[in-house]
Structure 1
Amino acid sequence: MKQLSNVEFMLLQIIAETNPASGYDINKLIDQRGYREWANIGTTSIYAGLKKLNNKGFIETEVPGEKSGKGPAPIRFFITEVGMTALRNEIILVLSSARERDNRFDLGLAALPFVGKEAAIEALWKRLDYLEKASKSIKQKYESQGSAQLPLHVRVLFLHPIHLIEGEQVFVSKMISELMEETRKHV
């Protein structure tokens, strides 16, 4: 049974990895690893997620006694034993059962007869363009982070979506070919 939202799941991972982590540390890792693209997460979601994790007893907070520089002292977040257990359980659940697909795209495919073959072909060409741009963006981020030198758990954040996109590009290209073939048969 899912216990954590995607935001909470990601935050617990980061806190467990950097234990302790400040809000700045968390935001920095989210940007470096491209979580914003994959988890659709904003700054307010981060702080709301941290509050939920704290309320569930999965993390604890600590405000250091002394400040460094201007502004308030940064709050540090620590994962609790209960939080680590929840994180491990969620990892096992997700690795063994999560589906990686956009169901809205599937619904669009099921509705192809309602737009006509030419419109569908044009839309799928746009999807190929979109996928190419997305792949290029992820590959650039991957290279800028150190690519093969990254630890496995960071590398796979980039490699998995790249491989999924490549598979979808093959599928969409095949769909375009089939639709074009059907169009030629009806002319």
Structure 2
Amino acid sequence: MSESLTDSELLVLGLVSEMPRHGYELEQVIEQRGMREWTQIGFSSIYFVLGKLEKKGLVTAEKPTGVKTKKSFLMTEAGHQALIAQTLSAITTVRPTYSSLLLGMIHWPTLQRDQALNALSERGEVIQKEISRIENIQLDQQPLPDHVEALFDYSIAQLKSEADWLQKTLDYMTCKPWNT
């Protein structure tokens, strides 16, 4: 496959690989599985993504039989091969992430000391709440398949790592003389 898929395309293709689905069913699965905790796809873009996958020949639409029957999508053989290739690529490829924190830190000198330190403290509090929120979602959805459990663990570990960094940075910045 020469063209890589967007994250949204890979997500939708993977869900269609499980069974034929229409857009509303995809939205329900995304919501039920808590997938919005680790990926960005809006309900309004699901049919757009399905259309792109269909144009690429990775899914095909079943023609509805009834008047109110929704069009379901099935994965093609090309879609199956693309799913395998893109899944392997997603697992092995490291891509940079761009946190708003980095953009804020680069402009640190524009802030007064109290503003800057309070902003970091506030972020730390928000991170702790987010860790609790995700841990509660993970707990509420038990039992989870191992790979889904790993997704939640990964998100929590990232947040905990940032919380540790925030605390070390606050400790360091609090003890140092203020310089810009």
TM-score normalised by L of structure 1: 0.84
| Residue matched to 2:174 | 180
Partner Cα distance (2:144, 2:96) in 1:
23
Listed one character per residue, the Cα deviations across residues 137-164 of structure 1 (whole Å, up to 9, x for unaligned) are 2112111111xx3112222221110111
Q: Residue 176 of structure 2: SS of its match in structure 1?
A: helix
Partner Cα distance (2:63, 2:131) in 1:
40
**1:159 equivalenced with 2:153 (yes/no):** yes
**1:4 equivalenced with 2:5 (yes/no):** yes
Deviates more, 1:90-99 or 1:48-57: 90-99
Partner Cα distance (1:93, 1:114) in 2:
40
Listed one character per residue, the Cα deviations across residues 73-98 of structure 1 (whole Å, up to 9, x for unaligned) are 13221111111111211112221123
Q: Residue 97 of structure 2: SS of its match in structure 1?
A: coil
Consecutive unaligned residues in structure 2, runs of 5 or more: none
Cα displacement (A) at 1:128: 1.0
Q: Residue 60 of structure 1: SS of its match in structure 2?
A: strand
Listed one character per residue, the Cα deviations across residues 88-118 of structure 1 (whole Å, up to 9, x for unaligned) are 1111222112336334322322332232432
1:128–1:172 contact (8 Å) kept in structure 2:
yes
Q: Which residues in structure 2 correspond to 1:1-187 (within 5 Å)?
A: 3-16=4-17, 18-66=18-66, 72-99=68-95, 101-146=97-142, 149-183=143-177
- Give aligned pairs, total: 178
Give the partner amino acid of 2:141: Q
Partner Cα distance (2:150, 2:108) in 1:
34
Partner Cα distance (2:3, 2:92) in 1:
12
Partner Cα distance (1:62, 1:15) in 2:
12
Listed one character per residue, the Cα deviations across residues 10-34 of structure 1 (whole Å, up to 9, x for unaligned) are 1111111x22223232112211222
1:2–1:90 contact (8 Å) kept in structure 2:
no
Q: Residue 60 of structure 2: SS of its match in structure 1?
A: strand
Consecutive unaligned residues in structure 1, runs of 5 or more: none
Cα displacement (A) at 1:40: 2.6
Give the partner amino acid of 2:20: P
Superposed CA RMSD: 2.2
Partner Cα distance (1:132, 1:92) in 2:
32
